[in-house]
Each structure stands twice: as structure tokens, then as C-alpha cells.
Amino acid sequence: MNTPTSRAVTLDDVARAAGVSRATASRVLGGYGFASVDARERVGAAADRLGYVPNTTARALVRGAGVRLVVAVSGTDATVLDDPYVDRLVSAVARVCAPHGVGVALEWLPLDAPAGLRRLGDDRSVCGVLLVNTTSRALDAVPAGLRGRVVSIGTGSPAVPSFDVDNAAGAGAVLRHLYAGGRRRIAMVTGPRWLSCAERSVTAYQGLMRAAGLPARLVNGDFTAARGGRAALEVLSRWPDIDAIYAASDATALGVIAALRGRGIRVPHDVAVGGFDDIPYAAVSSPALTTATHPVARIATAAATAVLDGRPVLPVTAFPSRLVARESA
Amino acid sequence: MNTPTSRAVTLDDVARAAGVSRATASRVLGGYGFASVDARERVGAAADRLGYVPNTTARALVRGAGVRLVVAVSGTDATVLDDPYVDRLVSAVARVCAPHGVGVALEWLPLDAPAGLRRLGDDRSVCGVLLVNTTSRALDAVPAGLRGRVVSIGTGSPAVPSFDVDNAAGAGAVLRHLYAGGRRRIAMVTGPRWLSCAERSVTAYQGLMRAAGLPARLVNGDFTAARGGRAALEVLSRWPDIDAIYAASDATALGVIAALRGRGIRVPHDVAVGGFDDIPYAAVSSPALTTATHPVARIATAAATAVLDGRPVLPVTAFPSRLVARESA
DNA sequence: CGCACACCTGAGAGCGTTATCACGACAAGC
DNA sequence: GCTTGTCGTGATAACGCTCTCAGGTGTGCG
């Protein structure tokens, strides 16, 4: 923390310049209570002239409000923070928080380590917490002090309002597109299996395959491109006659395509590939990726707004996902 | 801002429980001044037992320190915030700030609108500002109140310490690689021309071409894939005999490759393509992208640390860029 | 014994804001 | 006239913390 040099313009300065008491100046600037037209004008003019900017810190202190919103990403280690998805999330949240005078902090929250959550709950400078990719067990264990100022992204639980894309719908849209294109031997590269949002896609895949009378062929991934490449090779070795691979994320799909290309397999001619997320690079990959949208910024915005407003929200908000048919499938 | 319900544990509670005064408790927990072993133990135990978490807001208020670090991205409109580069930057900064009890806010700062900067300078809850992609004119006009707690990323000026990748070195490495591969008719798709970091790459390109006795062939881009695609078509129409395109960003390069593919031009056989940034998807694109590294997270971390520490830093810090030779060139 | 100097402690003054309270002025209604 | 009410205002008490200052106590030394 850095200590600035020159003295700031305070409410007292404004009040003095306007010839009123601090209380009146606060009322005028805060827009509450009564104030004569005369007082309103004088205070407004003085504030403009002096360049008064209210001190958010002092305001938060007296109001008992927090000044920080913590984005807490769960996972087995801190590398979960190195993720374009998290980047987008944080960036969108930071944008929503700025006009509220709230700042965003990004932390890694070890899985099943309730101490971290308790600390956040006891910290009065924290106005809210966005739990990302946690487990429903962790959500059930949210301390009472945090209730009402915590929401979850990617994981549902009755204890905490949650926001996420409609994973089942997105996965279903891509899988049906694959099926409509005549593909019948469809494998899936999953996300991390402990993650409930990833698991919803898997469930959708299994349900659809069963309904179509086709066998489910699962290989575990972790949403990354590198792991996607390895998973693709595993798919090929276990089921050489495969004609489509559905990847649980676009990054995974790009890794899959790169690996297939390395084996001389043509996409989509020999094997079609579908993804999920519609990241910016999906449109310019070769071949352009068929995928389903994942409105990360909208989800983050809604989640942050819910915390900031503190109004009760629906227990579960699922954002629609839309098929984007391109070349890869 | 959200008002929590239950009362928090304050320093007074800890002091009372430990049987000492608030001052002593503050000294023990703050680790400054004198305190007997006995007092230290009792206060520590009480703090642990009660689950005391210091209130950053109150601390910041009394210290006159800020609680927010503002990332201000310049540009003609707010769409500059929709950029994976900005996302990474903000995310890395948020990570560095978290342990300091500082939150990050993200704002768009209109080009040449000093009012925004003045407001940030007058806001005492702002501990620092990271100016991203601004103009050197704006840097020269940084208000005195902000001096010492503002740094720039991507633009240099004597007035403000700046951090950026060594654009000239990165561009040079890729261009030399292109040249070493036998390419002689090399065009460049630039970044936004008003951006000094983008201009440094252009200067490097022009210098290298002149030194090699080759003509400079420039088409303006804006770092995006979409614009890169359009720029590639323009390159083809103006110089049909081109054998390499150097793109100022990987996103641009991916757009270029997609456009070339659309015209039936093989990369790298007919036209080699080089990029800049080494984004995660560069490794899995088809063909895998030859590029130069851009350590965004390291740059952001260094810049944020400089602001947080408030220590004087070098006027200009250039982070090295390294060639990553893959398939596209 | 007197004095200097360490070590330790608590009272209390702020930091800049909000919000409660009491007070005064004036108008309307009985 | 007295009450009731609306409007406008200024003291002032918080909010939770840091840090200075004035006092202790004890030890060493002349």
C-alpha cells in the first residue's frame, strides 16, 4: 500500500468553502434528507470547484460495507488460476465492480479447505465472494457469516445461488449436430471429473448416446489443449474406428484437432470435432471450430451484480448456450 | 455494496479477551514496537481463538493508503476492454494485489480525456493506476497528485515508469527467422498505429527491411483476428507475389492464416506467417504458429508490484521476448 | 541516592465519512 | 394561543484501526 503525498480534498473542505456544516454537505452530496435549494447549489459548486471525490474507504468503513470482491477459484493447486476462462471472469467482474468503488481480488482456494472460506467470511473488507469451480460439499459448508454475500459459478448447491451456462443444452446441441451429420461413433473428452459443471456435460453425453442406442466412449480431460491432445491419442488407440470427438471445451478441441492432424487424420473428413465455449480463436482455427457458446462475461456480470446488490436471487441461473456450426463438424 | 449481518470480531474484542489494551493488541498483531512475551502470547491466542481478521478498510483509512488499484485501458471506445490481453493483465494484477488487501478495478479511459485521470488522482481510495495502451501525451499530462502511484504498460514517457515487452526484439526475432527461411517478400500487418508499442514493431520491421535492401509493405491492423483476415486479403491484392506475412499479434496471425486458407493459399508452403505474443492457442493452431513470447503475466506482475511498493523504479523496463519457431514459418 | 536508559503499556487523538438526534423556523389547523 | 407537522440545519457519535505520547517499571552506573 502506497501513501500519497499531497493532502486530499475532504468533505470538511467542501463544507467550509460552502459555508455549511459537514452534515449538510454530506446530505447534499449523498442526495438524502432535506437541503435547501441554496445549500444544494453552494455545496455543489464548492465540490466542483475543489475537485472533491468522496473517499470510498471512509464511506465503506462507516457503512460497514466491504471494498473488495474476492474471486476464489478452487482446485488442487494454484495453476487453476492460469486459465483464460478465469482471466475473462475476473476481467468482467472487475469491470462491473469499478463504478461501485469495489475492487476485485483473485485467490486460489484449495479444495476442501474450509479455513480459507472462513477467513473470507470474517474479513469485513470483503463485500462478497465469487466461488468458481468449487465442489458442492464446499458450498454446503459455507460459513453463516458469508451467507448472502457469496455466489457460485459452475457448481450448484441449495446453500448458495449459482450461475452457469446451461452445460447440458450446449453439449446436447453440439452432439445432436454431430449426429445429424451422420456421425455414430462419437467419443467424448471430458473436463475434470470432480467439477459438477463438467459432469453435467458428461451426463448429457451419456443420456444422448443411450437414447440413440450408441455406446458411450469417455476419456478424461481437464479443459486444457495439452491434455486434449493426449486424450485424442488415447481415443484413437482405444476406438480406432471413431468418427467424431466431442471435447468439453474449445481449448481441448483445439488440442484434439492438433493431435489428429499429427496422426494424418483429416478433420472433419475422417473425424469430426465439436467443442464448447466459442472462444475468440474458435472462428479462426483450421478448420474453424463447431462449438456452443458460453457467455462467460454475461455470467460473471450477473454473478457480480447479484453479490454487489445483495438482493436475493434465484437458487440457480442457467444461461442459454447456442450452437455455432462451423467447419470442424 | 452489501451490508453483512453478524457483528465482526474487532481488535477491541481481542484486546479485551487477552486482558490488554487495544494499543498493545495492535502492536502485537502489527509486529511493531515493544511487547512482552506474555502479552504477545495472550494476544496471539485470543486472536486465533476468536478468529480475528484485521479490517483492511479501517487500516487503509487511518494509514491514508488506498484499497483499489485501477487498470485504466485507453482507446477510442469501451470495446478496448474486450480483449484477451486485457483479461490476462487484469487477472495477473488481481492475483498480485490480493495478499496486499487491495482490489482491482477495470475502467476504460477515453483517449485524451484528462478528466478521468484527474478524478483517479483525487480519489484517495485508489492506491495506484496502471495505464494501459495510452498515448505518451496522456502520460505527460499525468496530474501531480498521481505521480509515484501510476505506471504505464505499453507506452513510454519520461513522466511515468513504463513496462512492456521488448517489441523490437520480438519482432526482429520473428522477422529474422522468416528471412533465414528464405523469405524476401515480407509484408507486415500492424497493430493500431497510434499505439507506441505497436509502432515499435513497425519501426523494427522497417529498419530490418531497409537493412536487407527489401521494400517495406505495410497494412494496418488492430491486433484482432477479424481485422487480420481483412488485412491479409488486402496484402494479397496489393502484392500478389508475397511469400511471408508478419502479423503484429497472434490473434492477427490466426486471422491471416484463416483468410489465406480461404483463398486456397498454403501456409507455410506458399506464404509463411509469423505472429507475436505466443498465446496458448498458438501451439495448437493449424499450422502451429511461429511467434515470439510476450510475458504478459510477468509484465503485469512487475507493474502492479511497482505501484504497490511505491518504490522508485527504472523509467523503462523492457521484458525480453524469445522466438518460438513452430510450423507456420 | 540520583540519573539515564532501556523496555513495556494504555489513554487518546485522529483518519473521512454517515447517520442519528436535537433544535429552530415557519405554516396550518383547532 | 397551542399543538402538530414539515422543512432545514449543525453537533456529535460512531466505524475499526494506527500511532504518538505520556507515563510507568526495572536495570545499570556514577
The answer to whether the CB of B136 falls within 8 A of the CB of B157 is: yes
Please report which confidence band the pLDDT of residue B114 belongs to, taking 50, 70 and 90 as the band edges. confident
Closest CA to B69 of A106, A83, A58: A106
pLDDT value, residue A185: 96
Question: Which of the nucleotides lies closest to B43 (Cα–C1')?
Answer: C9
The residues pairing with A290 across neighbouring beta strands, listed in sequence order, are A274
Question: Please, which positions of strand C sit below 7 A from a protein CB?
Answer: 7-12, 14-20
- Spacing of A34 CA from C25 C1' in Å: 14
- pLDDT tens sequence across A251-296: 999 999 999 999 999 999 999 999 999 999 999 998 999 999 999 9
> Which amino acid would we find at residue A143?
P
| Cα(B11)–Cα(A243) distance, integer angstroms | 65
For the segment A291-305, the average pLDDT, to the nearest whole number, is: 97
- How far is the alpha carbon of A211 from chain B, nearest alpha carbon, in Å? 34
User: B281: which DSSP letter?
Assistant: G
Please report which confidence band the pLDDT of residue A3 belongs to, taking 50, 70 and 90 as the band edges. very low
- Strand D close to B59 by CB, under 7 A: yes
pLDDT value, residue A161: 94
Per DSSP, the three-state class of B211 is helix
| Cα(A281)–Cα(A11) distance, integer angstroms | 50
Out of A134-148, A197-211, B91-105, pick the least confident.
A134-148
Query: Which residues of chain A are within 8 Å of residue B229 when distances are taken between CB atoms?
Result: 284
Question: Please, which positions of strand D sit below 7 A from a protein CB?
Answer: 7-12, 14-20
The answer to whether the CB of A162 falls within 8 A of the CB of A314 is: no
- Spacing of A301 CA from C19 C1' in Å: 32
Question: Which of the nucleotides lies closest to A60 (Cα–C1')?
Answer: C17
Under the phi-then-psi rule, with left for phi > 0, alpha for psi from -120 to 50, and beta for the rest, what region is B30?
alpha
| Cα(A44)–Cα(A50) distance, integer angstroms | 10
Spatial neighbors of A180 by CB under 8 A, at least 6 apart, are none
| Cα(B289)–Cα(B162) distance, integer angstroms | 29
The answer to whether the CB of A152 falls within 8 A of the CB of A89 is: no
CB atoms within 10 A of CB A3: 12
Query: Which residues of chain A are within 8 Å of residue B230 when distances are taken between CB atoms?
Result: none
pLDDT > 80? residue B112: no
pLDDT value, residue A115: 85
pLDDT value, residue B6: 65
The answer to whether the CB of A149 falls within 8 A of the CB of A306 is: no
Cell of A140: 454446503
pLDDT value, residue B3: 40
Out of A145-154, A259-268, B21-30, B63-72, pick the least confident.
A145-154
Kindly report the average pLDDT of chain A as a whole number.
93
Per DSSP, the three-state class of A59 is helix
Is A191 buried (19+), middle (13-18) or exposed (0-12) by CB count in 10 A? Answer: buried
Per DSSP, the three-state class of A26 is helix
Q: For an interface test with A, which of B106, B149, B291 has the most A Cβ atoms less than 10 Å from its Cβ?
A: B106
| Cα(B163)–Cα(B149) distance, integer angstroms | 14
- pLDDT tens sequence across A12-24: 999 999 999 999 9
Closest CA to B113 of B148, B145, B77, B86: B77
Closest CA to B317 of B90, B301, B308, B137: B301
| Cα(B276)–Cα(B195) distance, integer angstroms | 16
The secondary element (H helix, E strand) that includes residue B317 is strand B316-319
Spatial neighbors of B67 by CB under 8 A, at least 6 apart, are A56, A57, A67, A68, A103, A125, B56, B57, B60, B101, B102, B103, B125, B127
What torsion, rounded to 10 degrees, do the Cα atoms A111, A114, A115, A117 define? Answer: 90
pLDDT value, residue A234: 97
> Which amino acid would we find at residue A174?
V
Closest CA to A247 of A281, A208, A292, A183: A292
- pLDDT tens sequence across B173-193: 999 999 999 999 999 999 999
Closest CA to B6 of A144, A226, A253: A144
Q: Do B104 and A102 touch (CB under 8 A)?
A: no
Return the percentage of chain B with pLDDT > 70, whole number.
98
User: A179: which DSSP letter?
Assistant: H
**B157 phi, psi to nearest 5 deg:** -170, 145
pLDDT value, residue B4: 42
| Cα(A195)–Cα(A100) distance, integer angstroms | 32
Q: Do B2 and A310 touch (CB under 8 A)?
A: yes
Per DSSP, the three-state class of B91 is helix
> Which residue in chain A is spatially nearest to B311 when comparing CA positions?
A2
The answer to whether the CB of B256 falls within 8 A of the CB of B228 is: yes
The strand pair at A186-189 and A150-153 is best described as unpaired
Cell of A142: 459455507
User: A34: which DSSP letter?
Assistant: -
- Strand D close to A61 by CB, under 7 A: yes
| Cα(B205)–Cα(B190) distance, integer angstroms | 10
Please report which confidence band the pLDDT of residue A150 belongs to, taking 50, 70 and 90 as the band edges. very high
pLDDT > 70? residue A105: yes
Question: Which of the nucleotides lies closest to A22 (Cα–C1')?
Answer: D10
Kindly report the average pLDDT of chain B as a whole number.
93
- pLDDT tens sequence across B283-311: 999 899 999 999 999 999 999 999 998 87
Query: Which residues of chain B are within 8 Å of residue A261 when distances are taken between CB atoms?
Result: 286
Burial A247-279 (b: 16+ CB within 10 A, else e): bbbbbbbbbbbbbbbeeeeebbeebbbbbbbbb
pLDDT value, residue A308: 93
- How far is the alpha carbon of B89 from chain A, nearest alpha carbon, in Å? 8
Query: Which residues of chain B are within 8 Å of residue A278 when distances are taken between CB atoms?
Result: none
Q: Where are the alpha helices (DSSP H) in chain A?
A: 11-18, 22-30, 37-50, 56-63, 84-97, 114-122, 136-140, 167-180, 196-212, 225-238, 250-262, 296-309
Q: What are the angstrom distances between the C-alpha of B61 and each of A62, B54, B113, B302?
A: 11, 13, 29, 26
Q: pTM score, two decimals?
A: 0.93
- pLDDT tens sequence across A81-98: 999 999 999 999 999 999
Peptide bond into B158 cis (omega under 30): no
Cell of A306: 447479484
- Strand D close to A302 by CB, under 7 A: no
Q: Which of A53, A88, A124 sits opposite B119 (nearest CB)?
A: A53
Q: Which residue is nearest to nucleotide C6 (CA to C1')?
A: B34
- How far is the alpha carbon of A327 from chain B, nearest alpha carbon, in Å? 12
Cell of A163: 450461475
- Strand C close to B35 by CB, under 7 A: yes
| Cα(A68)–Cα(B23) distance, integer angstroms | 27
| Cα(B118)–Cα(B212) distance, integer angstroms | 47
- pLDDT tens sequence across B74-102: 988 899 999 999 999 999 999 999 999 99
Cell of A109: 482456494
Higher pLDDT among residues B114 and B2, named by residue: B114
Cell of A99: 463504478
The residues pairing with A151 across neighbouring beta strands, listed in sequence order, are A130
For the segment A8-34, the average pLDDT, to the nearest whole number, is: 92
A·B CB contacts under 8 A: 255
* Residues of A 20-49 whose CB lies less than 7 Å from any atom of strand D: 20-24, 27, 33-39
pLDDT value, residue B157: 86
User: B195: which DSSP letter?
Assistant: -
The answer to whether the CB of B251 falls within 8 A of the CB of B220 is: no
pLDDT value, residue A1: 39
Closest CA to B132 of B89, B92, B95, B91: B89
Let me know how long chain B is.
Answer: 329
Burial B280-294 (b: 16+ CB within 10 A, else e): bbbbbbbbbbbbbbb
| Cα(A328)–Cα(A275) distance, integer angstroms | 9
Query: Which residues of chain B are within 8 Å of residue A311 when distances are taken between CB atoms?
Result: none
pLDDT > 80? residue A224: yes
pLDDT value, residue A6: 63
Cell of B116: 478521468
pLDDT value, residue B48: 94
